[in-house]
């Protein structure tokens, strides 16, 4: 769901966990994110996404696992 600062909260949580990657809104109203880092911290981040920030309502989390790609050195919010 958009409009509840989900991206900003996600960015802050990912940075707190030392993850790299990105988060962005999709046109259909969903949020897409890419996380890289230590496996247990990525798992913690996915668990956080299942709840989201206090103002969010999370209906579904779809997870796709892949190999480490080393895409960046920070976590950012991407725009359209």
Catalytic residue selected from 7, 11, 27, 41: 7
36 in Cβ contact with 68 (< 8 Å): yes
Is 11 noted as a catalytic residue in this protein?
A: no
23 in Cβ contact with 32 (< 8 Å): yes
C-alpha to C-alpha distance for 34 and 26, rounded to whole angstroms: 13
Cβ–Cβ contacts within 10 Å for residue 10, how many?
A: 25
Catalytic residue selected from 11, 25, 69, 78: 25
Catalytic residues: 7, 25
């Amino acid at each position: 769901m958009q409009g509840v600062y989900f991206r900003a909260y996600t960015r802050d949580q990912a940075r707190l966990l030392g993850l790299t990657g990105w988060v962005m809104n999709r046109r259909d109203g969903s949020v897409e994110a890419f996380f890289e880092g230590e496996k247990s911290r990525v798992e913690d981040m996915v668990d956080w996404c299942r709840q989201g920030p206090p103002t969010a309502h999370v209906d579904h989390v779809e997870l796709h696992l892949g190999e480490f790609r080393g895409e960046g050195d920070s976590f950012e919010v991407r725009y359209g």
